[in-house]
Every structure is written in structure tokens, then in C-alpha cells.
Amino acid sequence: MSAVTKLFGSFAALNGIDLSVARGEKVVVCGPSGSGKSTLIRCINHIEKHDGGSIVVDGCILDHKAANVDRVRREVGMVFQSFNLFPHMSVLANCMLAPMLVRGLKAVEAEEVAIGFLRRVRIADQATKYPSQLSGGQQQRVAIARAMCMRPKIMLLDEPTSALDPEMVKEVLDTMMELGARASVDGMTMICVAHEMGFAREVADRVIFMDEGAIVEEGAPEQFFCQPKTQRARNFLSRILH
Amino acid sequence: MLEFSIMADALPSLLKGAGLTGRLAVLILLLGMTIAVPLAYARNAQSIWLHGPAKIYILVVRGVPSLLQVFIVYYGLGQLSFVRSSVLWPVLRDPFWCVIIALGLNSAAYTAEIVAGALRMVPKGLLEASQALGLSWFQTQRKVAIPLAVRAALPAYESEIILTIKATSLASTITLLDLTGAARLEVSNTFAPYEVFLTAGAIYFCITTSLSWLLRRFEERLSTDHRTGERSAKKLQPVLPALTNH
């Protein structure tokens, strides 16, 4: 990703982002609200169209051409802040939809895959329920399983815990940590917008700090959280630590 | 006083008329829906070349009385010589098809507005989630947007169905013996307007209310609000008073 810009009207949400993430690397992106973190990861699977610069995902240039966009989206999974489960489908159907339609799996195969991942997020017993019957934490775990069912090479997580009640944050973080551990084994790349220091320390190879649409600082989690180099990062950290 | 024997005598021909009313309504709604879906997508499109014409169509059709639209199709089209010489003339000459075309085009405008509104109500996040999973635009519409829009549109579409059933009575003005037409004929035979029109009204009422009830049940079944236990609690309710009686 180089010199990427994204404008909303005259406001530059992303202002010349240069970033490369290696295969299998796990990156946590943090920064104050409105700093462009979400926009950054939404550009990676073209949910948000970037206006300038270039983005290459898994060797494929994201140039707004439908074929390339489709190719990238097949390999990139995404977990949203607000879960975005399909309310008219059961948990299982949510997980089977894309593998069947996009990967062409048969129903039996898709179900096997779905149950496998639902088991991993410890929610297989709820497979026949509908999203509205689950708690926020359970819904987000289903959303993680749904994204995993496509066996993505890259997983994007957009503040997966920030819409949750406090008591549910832990179960989702635990799931994400496990996901991170698995990712190390499978070589899956993870880019996660998150503010939880514990999670970042445990899982991330690198922390990126953004402000005003630009990357201000990056480094290993230990070094970033203990000895931030820039004043802006220090200000930000002092605010989230209270 | 009402004479019930006249009502009973009129019933067979009125029910036959109700049959025609039903056929008209079904075909009008089918034609209306077929046109309404693409029209709704055009209405919601970004491009002014798509949403402009769609909006104008909806505006014009909704702004002109349906009776006039029936007259324009039935009396007006026959005036044009190229229409009379076209292969469609046997269809356009037939009052049955004229009503279906006129009211079908009319229903399309109202239905398009309902469908377009329902499509706009589908949360953006769900469409993004579907795209992020790799589904194409068509797959997203078919599996996510349309099923959710159907649920959102049902209450408004229910009243469109009922309005259409009642609008079919306009068919009686161009010689068709639908429920209203049959009633008018029966009145001219018996000179008993109260009995016959009241019976016809009662038949309309039965059709529309039973349809309403059916659609409500359908709506409940499709509901995405699957809160645990609520449905089973409803099922249990009739049992509870019986238990307390003993």
C-alpha cells in the first residue's frame, strides 16, 4: 500500500498512507477516533474506494476493476464493529452462505466447514438459532466464524469489541487471541483495529498508531506501549489508559 | 326493510363477478410487481438517467386518477391507427386486458415506491458484510437485500393489494362484469340497489379482510425477530385460562 489517499468530500480521511504488511504478520492499528483506522482497513477489501495511491493485496492490484476486487475479496475476511450478521438466516446459514455461493462448496461440505469453525469459537450448540437470539458477544464470535469459513489469507477486524457490553469483551478477545495463535500456525495475516493493550501485546507483531489520516508511529507492541516516541502517541496512550 | 331473498338470488351472479375481480387483481398485481422491481432499482440508482425517468413515471402515474388511466388505455389507444393495425390489437381491444394494463401500470408506480423504500431500509452494514464475504452484486441482492426488503415492504404492500382489489371495480365502467359490474347488472334487473350493493360490499369486505389476515400471518412467519420463547409463549396462551378454570 503506497501513498494511499481517501477523501470524504474535501476531508482527507487517509492522507498518503505507506504501509506494507508481510504474509502471516499480525498488525494492530490504533489511534484516536476519526484518525482513519477503519477507513484504512476498509480500503484493503475495497469496501471503501481509495481515491489515490495504489493498493496491492496478495499480488493483486486493487484498481477498481470488478474482477480484481472480487479476487481480493475472496481472500480477505472481515469482522465488523457491529457484527453485521444476516438477521434472516440462522447462525449456520450465515456461515454457509459465502462458501457455497463464492467457493462453490456443496451444502454438506459447507456445513461441515461451518460447524468446524463454530466449534472453534465455542458456539456450535447455537447453530440453528437466529442472530437476534444471541448476545452481542456470541454474535461477534459467529461473525468471526463466518469470516473464517472462507479460509481467508488475510483477516481484517474493525474494532470487533467496541460495540460490546463490557462483560462480553473478554469472550471475544479470547476468541481473537486464539485466532491470532492459529494465524501464526496457518500463516494467516491479521490486521486489527483495536485499543486493547493486552490483546495487542499478546498477539501483535507490530502496532501502528494513526492520527489525522496518517501513520504517526509504528513499532513492536512492548516498545510502543512503554516508550512511545511521539508526543501524539503519548497523549493518546495516557487517555486510553485511564 | 331489506329483502333477504333478493340478496340470496343475486349471490350466484355476484360470486361469479367476484371470480373475475380476483383474476383481474392477481394479474394486475403480477404485472405491477414485474415492472415495479426494476423501476425501484432505477429509482434508487445514482445516475440521473435512471432515477430521473423512474421518478417522473411514478409522479405522473400517482398524480392522475386511475379511472382516467383506464379510459385512456381503453378508449384512447383505439384512436391510434398504428395501434389498430398492430399485432397487439386483439389484446388492446379487449376490455379485460385494457384494465390489466392500465391498473397494472398504475400499481407498478405505487409498488415501486414501496419496494424502493424497503430496499433503502436494508442496513448498509449488511450489504458491506455480504460484499466483504465475496458475494457479487446480484448475489447480495438475491440473498440479503431482497429477502430483507420483502419483510420491510410487506405491511405497505398489504394495503397496495387491498387498494388494487378495490380498484378493479373500475373494470365495470368498461363493460366488464366484475363484482361491481355484476352488481350493477343485478340492480337493473331487480331495482333493489340496497340489497344488491350491500351484498357486493360484503363480498369485497370478506375478500379484503381475509387476505389481510393471511398476510399478517405470513409476515409473522417471516419476522426476523426471533426472541427466545416468545412464540412458544403465544402458543401456550389459550391453554393457560383452561388450566386456571380447573
pLDDT computed for residue B226 by the predictor: 64
Rounded to a whole number of angstroms, the distance from the CA of B41 to the nearest CA of chain A is 20
pLDDT computed for residue B227 by the predictor: 55
| Average of per-residue pLDDT across B208-230 | 80
Residue of A39, A42, A84 to mutate, testing the B interface (most B Cβ within 10 Å of its Cβ) = A84
Tell if the CB–CB gap between B226 and A130 is shorter than 8 Å: yes
Query: What's the Cα-to-Cα distance from B160 to each of A66, B110, B113, B154, rounded to whole Å?
Result: 38, 7, 11, 10
Q: Is the pLDDT assigned to residue B55 strictly greater than 80? A: yes
How far apart are alpha carbons B114 and B157 in whole angstroms? 7
Of A87, A98, A133, which has the smallest distance from its Cβ to B134's Cβ?
Answer: A98
B98 pLDDT band, cuts 50/70/90, is: very high
Tell if the CB–CB gap between B134 and A82 is shorter than 8 Å: no
pLDDT computed for residue B198 by the predictor: 93
Rounded to a whole number of angstroms, the distance from the CA of A149 to the nearest CA of chain B is 10
Chain A hits for B153, CB-CB cut-off 8 Å, are none
Buried b or exposed e, range B113-137, using 16+ CB within 10 angstroms: bbbbbbbeebeeebbbbbbbbbbee
The answer to whether A222 and A201 have CB atoms below 8 angstroms apart is yes
Say which range, A68-82, A90-104, A172-186, B101-115, has the weakest mean pLDDT.
A172-186
Query: What's the Cα-to-Cα distance from A228 to each of A216, A235, A236, rounded to whole Å?
Result: 11, 10, 10
Q: Is A209 exposed, middle or buried (0-12, 13-18, 19+ CB in 10 A)?
A: buried
Q: Is the pLDDT assigned to residue B245 strictly greater than 60? A: no
pLDDT computed for residue B77 by the predictor: 83
Q: Which one has a higher pLDDT value, A222 or B141?
A: B141
CA A212 to chain centre: 20
Tell if the CB–CB gap between B147 and A97 is shorter than 8 Å: no
pLDDT computed for residue B239 by the predictor: 39
pLDDT computed for residue A1 by the predictor: 59
A104 touching B (Cβ < 8 Å): no
Backbone phi and psi for residue A129, each to the nearest 5 degrees, phi listed first: -80, 170
Of A2, A6, A25, whose CA–CA distance to A15 is shortest? Answer: A6
Residue of B nearest to A67 (CA): B136
pLDDT computed for residue A147 by the predictor: 93
How far apart are alpha carbons A8 and B164 in whole angstroms? 44
Tell if the CB–CB gap between A88 and B151 is shorter than 8 Å: yes
Using one digit for the tens of pLDDT, what is the confidence trace for A142-175? 999 999 999 999 999 998 888 888 888 888 888 8
Tell if the CB–CB gap between B224 and A150 is shorter than 8 Å: no
What 3-state DSSP class applies to A193? strand
Of A184, B190, A165, A47, whose CA–CA distance to B198 is shortest? Answer: B190
The answer to whether B137 and B144 have CB atoms below 8 angstroms apart is no
pLDDT computed for residue B225 by the predictor: 67
How far apart are alpha carbons B60 and A139 in whole angstroms? 46
Rounded to a whole number of angstroms, the distance from the CA of B121 to the nearest CA of chain A is 14
Residues forming beta bridges with residue A52, ordered by sequence position: A5
How far apart are alpha carbons A171 and A196 in whole angstroms? 13
pLDDT computed for residue B230 by the predictor: 45
pLDDT computed for residue B99 by the predictor: 94
Buried b or exposed e, range A133-151, using 16+ CB within 10 angstroms: bbebbbbbbbbbbbbbbbe
B176 pLDDT band, cuts 50/70/90, is: very high
pLDDT computed for residue A238 by the predictor: 85
pLDDT computed for residue B145 by the predictor: 95
Chain A hits for B131, CB-CB cut-off 8 Å, are 45, 47, 73
Q: Which percentage of chain B shows pLDDT scores above 70? A: 90
Backbone phi and psi for residue A72, each to the nearest 5 degrees, phi listed first: -65, -45
Residue of A nearest to B133 (CA): A98
Helix (H), strand (E) at residue A241: none
Of A80, A130, A133, which has the smallest distance from its Cβ to B125's Cβ?
Answer: A80
- ipTM of the complex model: 0.89
Q: All 3 cell numbers of residue A12?
A: 482527507
Which residues 152-191 on chain A approach chain B with CB closer than 8 angstroms?
none
B223 touching A (Cβ < 8 Å): no
Q: Is the pLDDT assigned to residue B87 strictly greater than 90? A: no
pLDDT computed for residue A242 by the predictor: 61
Q: Is the pLDDT assigned to residue A185 strictly greater than 60? A: yes
Sheet order of strands, A189-193 included = A76-79, A154-158, A189-193, A26-30, A206-211, A214-219
Query: What's the Cα-to-Cα distance from B42 to each of A66, B36, B51, B52, B53, rounded to whole Å?
Result: 21, 10, 5, 8, 8
B205 pLDDT band, cuts 50/70/90, is: very high
pLDDT computed for residue A144 by the predictor: 92
**Which among A222-226, B116-120, B215-219, B231-235 has the top mean pLDDT?**
B116-120
Rounded to a whole number of angstroms, the distance from the CA of B231 to the nearest CA of chain A is 12
Residue A54, number of CB atoms within 10 A of its CB: 12
Tell if the CB–CB gap between B129 and A73 is shorter than 8 Å: no
Q: Is the pLDDT assigned to residue A121 strictly greater than 50? A: yes
Tell if the CB–CB gap between A70 and B132 is shorter than 8 Å: no
A73 touching B (Cβ < 8 Å): yes
CATH number attached to the domain at B4-238? 1.10.3720.10
Rounded to a whole number of angstroms, the distance from the CA of B101 to the nearest CA of chain A is 35
Say which range, A8-12, A21-25, A205-209, B91-95, has the weakest mean pLDDT.
A8-12
- Average per-residue pLDDT in chain A? 87
| Average of per-residue pLDDT across B205-219 | 93
Chain A hits for B134, CB-CB cut-off 8 Å, are 70, 73-74, 98, 102, 150
* 3-state class percentages of chain A: helix first, strand second, coil last, to nearest 5: 45, 20, 35
Residue of B133, B154, B220, B223 to mutate, testing the A interface (most A Cβ within 10 Å of its Cβ) = B133
B16 touching A (Cβ < 8 Å): no
Which residues 119-138 on chain B approach chain A with CB closer than 8 angstroms?
123, 125-126, 128-136
Using one digit for the tens of pLDDT, what is the confidence trace for B123-155? 999 999 999 999 999 999 999 999 999 999 999
